[in-house]
Structure 1
């Protein structure tokens, strides 16, 4: 007897479509992406950013910068126990984090005034 389940797969195109997990990159996803990209760089993959201005030229530092700039063409797969999953481009999660941070910074500046960095 062949019983195939129908699994729902959805490629997310906007933060509002994320239903599995938070609308940001978790620390575990961030660590896994940086580690995987650092390994690719260590094995000879070309960097996706200009590394001439980075100091030191460590593969982990390069991978973190690539992630923070949102240039990595990587999808995060978030699964539910029933087999359903979503594929979320990293760029969407990084852009959401940047918008959220700038919004929080603006609120903090309104409350406490301009703080020198």
Structure 2
């Protein structure tokens, strides 16, 4: 056996590898496995859920009057909203505020958030499968 690290004289790889291990069964999706599932989604303002028509008797949207969650925007929702809006602005979406010489899409998105002019909705999923839709104008952003 050689000490140069190139495997000279090793007999480990001499056998043919015909025995393949069976793949492991998937228990759940990756987000559930690591416990990092974020249960909110950013939608265009006024967007309808395409899956809701497929499950008419299942859980659905919660009306505005019966909302259970707080009106405070989480830092994760803020990050997703700013990232989504900055991507839209960088792809020539109409800007909802005065630019005043700004050209960075993220800075423009932050200005839109400060002025509550981002045309997006936040969908918050509940454990029973229902959801709440909040417009960005209704949410109080973190400082």
Structure 2 length-normalised TM: 0.54
Q: Would you say the 8 A contact 1:11–1:88 is kept in 2? A: no
Equivalent residue runs for 1:42-53 within 5 Å: 42-52=90-100
Q: Would you say the 8 A contact 1:78–1:85 is kept in 2? A: yes
- The aligned length equals 89
RMSD across aligned positions (CA): 2.4
Question: Which runs of 4 or more aligned residues in structure 1 lie more than 3 Å from their structure 2 counterparts after TM superposition?
Answer: none
Provide the C-alpha distance between the structure 2 equivalents of 1:67 and 1:39, rounded to a whole number of angstroms.
14
List runs of 5+ in structure 1 lacking aligned partners: 102-117
> Which has the bigger relative contact order, CA under 8 A and spacing at least 6?
1
The answer to which structure has the higher helix fraction is 1
Provide the C-alpha distance between the structure 2 equivalents of 1:5 and 1:74, rounded to a whole number of angstroms.
27
Larger radius of gyration: 2
